[in-house]
Amino acid sequence: MIPAAFEYHRPGDLPAALALLQEHGDDARVIAGGHSLIPMMKLRMAEVPHLIDLQAIDALRGITIDGHRITLGAMVTQAEIIAHAGLTTHAPILREAALQIADPQVRAMGTVGGNVANGDPGNDMPGLMQCLNATFHVTGPAGSRDIPAREFYESAYLTAREDDEILTAVSFDAPTGGQAYEKQKRKIGDYATAAAAVILTRLGDRCTAASIAMTNLSDTPIWAEAAGEALVGTACGEDAVIAAITAMQAAIDPSEDNRGPAEFKRHAAGIILARAIARAWSRA
């Protein structure tokens, strides 16, 4: 499996990468870990005459925890997330989700920037970032701008990032409360049949805030606002969980594929969400 020929570029800084994107327009794509793009190029479903490798751009690396704000450079790998002690303390849901992505070799290469920017509905980080209410930082010829994760995804592979912009980092406030990432998949390395990211804040025996996002159940991740609202003010008992599941199921729009028919996925989504809520609540 050999992709079509292309020219390879490895710019040393962001301005050089942006200049290459400008110069080659639609003919250029940036590559981070490559584990989404290279398979598509090998299948010749993506043709990329100019491949711009971001690996030499130091400004895209690094994990910083500054007070409550956590920033991940676009080139941070899933393996780096898993190994980072600070993240494990301040945002354990990130590690829990990253451990469920693909397999060790893929996690060694796969990056957070690639995972969120590609717009693949099967990727786990987009839903997680919506749950965290993260901000995506992009830079283009006109300068830098911030895009909320909850407004980034338009449809499969279509996002608010312009073609001449590069996603440089994601940032979010360290979540407080109980967190859980639950994923149902057929086997290691598969995308989710259904996955749920849940963060719950608890005061006494009441839930005071809830954020719920679902993965691979629509052509974009789904931040299910109403599902979270169904839990607020409750003790996350059975009735509240059923109400949250019902609200979530009204927000998703799964389609049939080799992971099963749409009805099955709705059912699986409900089970996964119930598990995620129970686990997040037990940690809140």
Partner 1 sequence: MSKKMQITLTVNGTRHELLAEPRELLIHVLRERLNITGPHIGCETSHCGACTVIMGDRSVKSCTVFAAQADGASITTIEGLGTPDALHPLQEAFREHHGLQCGFCTPGMITRAAQLLKENPDPTEEEVRFGMAGNLCRCTGYQNIVKSVLAAAATINAAKEAAE
Binding site for partner 1 (CB under 8 A): 1-8, 10, 31, 34-35, 38-39, 41-42, 51, 53, 55, 79, 102-106, 108-109, 188-189
Which CB sits closer to partner 1, 185 or 265? 185
Are 201 and 176 within 8 A, CB to CB? yes
Which CB sits closer to partner 1, 47 or 154? 47
Which CB sits closer to partner 1, 7 or 146? 7
Helices 262-283 and 238-251: angle between axes, nearest 10 degrees: 140
Q: Nearest approach, Cβ of 1 to partner 1 (angstroms)?
A: 5
Which CB sits closer to partner 1, 77 or 139? 77
Distance in angstroms between the alpha carbons of the first and the last residue of the chain: 48
Token pair belonging to 85: 């002690």
Q: Nearest approach, Cβ of 9 to partner 1 (angstroms)?
A: 9
The residue type at 11: P
Q: Nearest approach, Cβ of 7 to partner 1 (angstroms)?
A: 6
Which CB sits closer to partner 1, 124 or 252? 124
Token pair belonging to 123: 């990727």
Q: How far apart are CA 41 and CA 20, in angstroms?
A: 20
- State phi, psi for 181 to the nearest 5 degrees: -120, 115
Q: Nearest approach, Cβ of 255 to partner 1 (angstroms)?
A: 23
Q: Nearest approach, Cβ of 261 to partner 1 (angstroms)?
A: 25
Which CB sits closer to partner 1, 3 or 178? 3
Q: Nearest approach, Cβ of 260 to partner 1 (angstroms)?
A: 20
Q: How far apart are CA 57 and CA 55, in angstroms?
A: 6
Q: How far apart are CA 243 and CA 46, in angstroms?
A: 42
Q: How far apart are CA 268 and CA 259, in angstroms?
A: 11
Q: Which helix (H) or strand (E) holds 215?
A: strand 206-215
